[in-house]
Amino acid sequence: MFSSLLAPLVTALMELLKRTFPIPKKYIPLTSFFVGLIVGILAYPFTDMDVVLRLWSGGIAGLAATGLYEIGKRSKKSKRTC
């Protein structure tokens, strides 16, 4: 559940990073994973979970954020062709 709360935040942070810095496409999932780990660690005041669980949730949220972005991008493309 914690990772599902972090995923939109990681998605927004990744979009900010991609617009600020030129990140090669092949490194976006890896960058998203590490951003998720960082957000998971920084969420310690909001939860009483162990560090390992916060890292795990952050990593999952980072990978999910990449998937959410790709689904949204594909959805926009399919609406244009209709």
Tens digits of pLDDT across the chain (82 residues): 888 888 889 989 999 999 999 988 888 888 999 999 999 999 888 888 888 999 999 999 998 888 766 666 666 666 665 5
pLDDT for 37 equals 92
CA gap 33, 27 in Å, rounded: 10
Q: Which amino acid is at 8?
A: P
Helices 28-42, 51-81: axis angle to 10 degrees equals: 140
pLDDT for 80 equals 60
pLDDT for 79 equals 63
Answer for the pair 70, 16: CB distance below 8 angstroms, yes or no. no
- Name the percent of the chain in helix, strand, coil, to the closest 5: 85, 0, 15
Domain boundaries, the chain: 2-73
Residues composing the chain? 82
